[in-house]
Each structure stands twice: as C-alpha cells, then as structure tokens.
Amino acid sequence: MMSEQYCDLTATAPSHLQTAVFYEIKDMTRGETATVLFAEDPAITLHSLNLQLRNNLRWEISRTDAGHWLTVIHRAEDVAPVDVFDSLKRDHKRLDAMFSQVIHLTDQNHLVEAHAIMRAFIEGLRKHFAVEHDILAKAIRTPPNAMGIDPTAAMMQEHNEILNQSIMIELSFDEDDATSTSVSPLLAILAGYLSKHEYREEATIFPIWIGAINKAPEAVKAALFQQVLATLAD
Ligand SMILES: [Fe+2]
Ligand SMILES: [Fe+2]
C-alpha cells in the first residue's frame, strides 16, 4: 500500500520550512508522494532542498481556493535508467524542468534564485553535451542525410547556439538593471529552441546511435552506459 502523506505547513515559520519539508519526505520511497500545503510560493524552499538532495525531487504546484500553495512532491526516478538513451532522455527532461523553473522564478521576480538555477542549468548542459560530443559523437559516425547534412555536425552547431544563449542569459541576470522584463524574452527564445533541438535529436540522431550501440558486444555496451552515467552525475 503506497502512502500518501499530507501535511499542512501554512503556520510554519519561513525559516523552518525547508527542515519541515525534509522531515516529511525523507522516508518517502519511490512511487510515494507527499502533499504539502504552504502559505507562500514554496518554489525557493523546494529548490534549495532539492539541491541538497542531488536533484532527487519533483513536484507539481497548484493554488487552492483559499490562496494557499498545494504541492505534490515525489521522487525523481521510479526506476533506474535502463540504457544510454533512457538516461539521455531523462536528462533532457531534467534540463527542461530546471529551465522551466528559471522561467517561473523570473516571472515571479525571484531573480537571485532564478540566476542560481540558471547557473546549475548551464553546468547540466555542459555534462550533457560532454556525453553527446566526447563519448557518442566521437565513437559513432553518422552518414549525411538526404540534404547532404551530417546530423552530428548540425547537432553540435545547435549545442553551441544553446550554450551561447544560456551564457548570455546568465550574464544578463548579473546586470545591475536586470529585471524580470529584461530577462524573460531571452528565456522564451531559448525555451523554444531547446525543446525543438531535443525533439530533433531524439528523432534523428538517437536512432542512428542506438543502431550502432546495439551491434556492440555486451561488455562494451555496459562500459559505455557506466561512462555515460558517471559523466552525467559527476
Ligand atoms: Fe541531448
Ligand atoms: Fe543536444
């Protein structure tokens, strides 16, 4: 029987919130959820807790009629990734989730917190690209498509674009006159670009890579998977 905890923290002092949430979720196992009610937007509390818990938490937030913030928290992974592509697709989702939080926090005018998550997002991008460039693209050659374009070259070009835009956004948080209005349009452009890129990558490059890896001996596959996990986690 899965446990569904509910806990009302609307009367808890802000300085104790993070600890209170931690006690609610610390024994939560995979598949379980904890529902927590907050008086204020809990995004910052949950992000800061999540950084301590190695990004192991996910949550959905909704508003109650009384104006409280209802949060359903669960563990990030119900099952361990099964292979290289499973872990890369999950990493896409994780990066998307971090980037959505940057957008959310920027909209709420929490620029300091948004900036911190933006920096973590860039770190995550670098690890992700390290897997795709240094491990997979180096090991597997992709033939040019019908238009004569090598999909790997196109992917790398898009990665450069994503990284450059991300760094530009990170810097724009640093400007003295940074506001939600100055940063939001840049975030919106990158959000669209990023999701198109991930979609294209999963539809065009991953199948070629999967085909190549499937032909490799089991021991090679297992070693590659470990290397990918280690690079993403490191
Ligand atoms: Fe990717
Ligand atoms: Fe990519």
Q: How far is the CA of 101 from the centre of ligand 2 (A)?
A: 20
CA of 72 to the centre of ligand 1 (A): 28
Cα 67 to ligand 2 centroid, rounded to whole Å: 39
Cα–Cα distance, 17 to 13 (Å, whole number): 6
Domain 4-75 adopts which CATH fold? Translation Initiation Factor IF3 (3.30.110)
Proximal ligand: closest to the CA of 155: 2
The full set of domain ranges for the chain reads 4-75, 84-233
List CB-based neighbours of ion ligand 1 within 5 Å.
Answer: 201
What one-character DSSP code corresponds to residue 72?
A: E
pLDDT per residue rounded down to tens, the chain (234 residues): 345 678 899 999 999 999 999 999 988 887 777 888 999 999 999 999 998 888 888 887 878 878 899 888 888 766 678 899 999 998 998 888 789 878 988 998 888 878 888 988 999 999 999 999 999 999 998 888 888 989 999 999 999 999 999 999 999 998 888 899 999 999 999 999 999 999 999 998 999 999 999 999 999 999 999 999 999 987
Question: What number does CATH give the domain 84-233?
Answer: 1.20.120.520
The kind and range of the H/E element at 35 are: strand 33-38
What ligand has the least distance to the C-alpha of 156? 2
